[in-house]
Structure 1
Amino acid sequence: MKQRALIILVAILGATCIVLGIFLLRGGKQPETADPTPEATATVTPTATPEAESSASTDSAVPYVSPIDFASLQKENPDIYAWLYIPGTEFDFPILQRAGDDDYYLTHDSDGNDNSMGAIFSESSYNDGKMDDPATVLYGHQMLAGTMFGKLQQVYSESNALTEHGDITVYLPEKELHYKVFAAVPYDNRHILYTYDFTSKRRYNAFLNSVFDVREIGAQHSTDVSVTPEDKLLILSTCLQGNSHRRFLVVAKCVDEVE
């Protein structure tokens, strides 16, 4: 009996030594509990879930949708490539361009019908029909009834014109362009895009100087808008009231492009 008790005692002491050895090898730390103390709690900034990341990515990649229904317009007349809108005025027209016939819309309306009123148009010989050129010129008749560009000179000859009507928007199927008007002046009848090579900084600046040099009654200039040869210009051109051998120009630079 004594021998058996001695064997059991030795076994118990051996097991105790083993447990104590494991405890010491682990650095004497107690097992972690499910409720750590506040000092041991770390603050973690949550990251976006895949669903949230996908949503954010989708939102930033939403394609531009034009407020103009170009699909319907171009079904009626494929020459319509853009739309001109000047807030606070009656200028709200389609812009057209006829490949190979720059004079077509002098005598045809936006539906392609014979009409002395014509349409607002650019020339395919000088402009690409995408508003990407250094300068784009849009032409329109100065109609006595006030249609087309009939009121262009009247509106932009007012002393507050560049403040009240200084913003111009051009819509295209895939983007919209925002322009700021910096000059509105009586001008001679030279063909601007033939006379000035706007890819040349020297010729570009020569055009700007010719505009800012105009000091006639009704000429308006803005000192708040800086213009450089890197800017894309929009030029609205129509006949000068009382002198069809001269032009009236509204000149603006692109300040924003929304795609």
Structure 2
Amino acid sequence: MGRLGDFFYRMVIVVLIIAAIVFLAMAFKEQYPLWKNQQELENLQASVETEKTKDENPHINWKKLKRTNPDIVGWIKVPGTKIDYPVLKGKEWNEYLHKNYEGDYSYAGSIFIQPGTSFDDRHLVIYGHNMRVKSMFGSLHDFESEDFYKKHNKIYLYQPGKTIKCTIYSVYDCLDKSATYNTDFSDDGNDNKWVDWLTMTVNNNAYYPIKKKPAEKDHIITLSTCSGKQKGDSYRFVVHSLVTDTVIYEE
């Protein structure tokens, strides 16, 4: 090959090695914070769960959680997914979009509800990022599969002395800030505003038929995350559920 050929060959190898190192460093820089955030949440879960029990009562040490951050207002668990996280409520809109459960910056953010809302609302929206590693609300997209839905269609929300059980009834994509996110159903001259909204959520169900339907008396919990690159940044993936039971127990 000759000396000149050997030189260029070695240069190509060096450049490829450097490129590989740079690529790995960039991947590590992107993925490590996500992995670290997930590990911290799993450590938190282990530290506040006083004993392993069924989904109905997880025996959470609420006093310890509140000492960690008084903005922690509940806990959410969706069996069959990675969703097993504290729920945060800040004083500002979207405050926990990029804050972890301790209030520090984190790209993955937290699972959160907006200020002025509560678990007793007629319609409550709970938000979380769609992370590629399926952490936060990334694994919500598992509900695009009917087979998955048939095995796992329950949502559990926990507060001190209370477990709220929910059953999923609608799954679809929608535009951000669409009617799906309505939470104010006060009188505006339309007596059927709430019923019309419930009907809309049922009719929008897109991935597979679901027999469960909400009634006018029901309370609705909506889990919301990004739809992903195929749909575009303006679209959201939502999972609607209706509250089927609220269990009160002693701490």
TM-score (norm 1): 0.67
Structure-1 separation of matches of 2:238 and 2:181:
16
Checking the alignment, whether the CA contact within 8 Å between 1:66 and 1:175 is kept in structure 2 is no
Q: Which residue of 2 aligns with 1:210?
A: 200
Q: Cα–Cα, structure 1 residues 207 and 92, in superposed 2: closer, same or farther, change >3 Å?
A: same
From 56, 65, 77, the equivalent of 2:69 is 77
What letter matches 1:203 in structure 2?
K
Q: Structure 1 pair 159/172, CA: closer, same or farther in 2 (3 Å)?
A: same
SS in 2 for 1:105: coil
**Once the two structures are superposed, what CA deviation does each residue of 1:145-201 show, in whole Å capped at 9, x if it has no partner?**
221111212x10001233211111111012111001111111121255864534566
Indicate yes or no: 2:153 matched with 1:163: no
List per-residue Cα deviations over 1:113-151 (Å, max 9, x = no partner). 1011100000013x13xx111011000011122211112
Seen in structure 2, the aligned counterparts of structure 1 residues 234 and 66 have a Cα distance that, compared at 3 Å, is same
**Alignment RMSD, CA only?**
2.1
Q: Which residue of 2 aligns with 1:249?
A: 238
Match of 1:150 among 138, 142, 155: 138
Residues 96 and 120, structure 1, Cα contact 8 Å, conserved in 2: yes
User: Any idea what the Cα deviations from partners look like across 1:50-102, whole Å, max 9, x if unmatched?
Assistant: xxxxxxxxxxxxxx976111110110100001100111221101001012x02
1:103–1:196 Cα change, 3 Å:
closer
Q: CA 1:205–1:93 in 2, change beyond 3 Å: closer, same or farther? A: same
* Separation in structure 2 between the aligned mates of residue 88 and residue 116 of structure 1, nearest angstrom: 24
CA separation of 1:141 and 1:194: change in aligned 2, threshold 3 A? closer
2:95 to 104, 111, 128: 104
Check the 8 A contact 1:141/1:148 in 2, yes or no.
yes
> Which structure 2 segments of 5+ residues have no match?
1-55
Structure 1: segments with no counterpart, 5+ residues: 1-63
Q: Given residue 132 of structure 2, which amino acid in structure 1 is its aligned partner?
A: L
> CA separation in 2, counterparts of 1:202 and 1:161?
34
The residue number in structure 2 matching 1:58 is none
The amino acid that maps onto 1:252 is S
Secondary structure at the aligned position of 1:115 is classed as coil
Moved more, 102-111 or 195-204: 195-204
- Rg: which structure is higher? 1
Give me the whole-angstrom Cα distance separating, in 1, the residues matched to 2:179 and 2:111: 17
Summarize the Cα distance change of 1:68–1:215 in structure 2 as closer, same or farther, 3 Å threshold: closer
Q: How does 1:112-151 map to 2 (within 5 A)?
A: 112-125=103-116, 127-128=117-118, 131-151=119-139
User: What is the CA–CA distance in structure 2 between the aligned matches of 1:91 and 1:211, rounded to whole Å?
Assistant: 23
Kindly state the Cα deviation for residue 206 of structure 1 after the two structures are TM-superposed. 2.5
For normalisation by structure 2, the TM-score amounts to 0.69
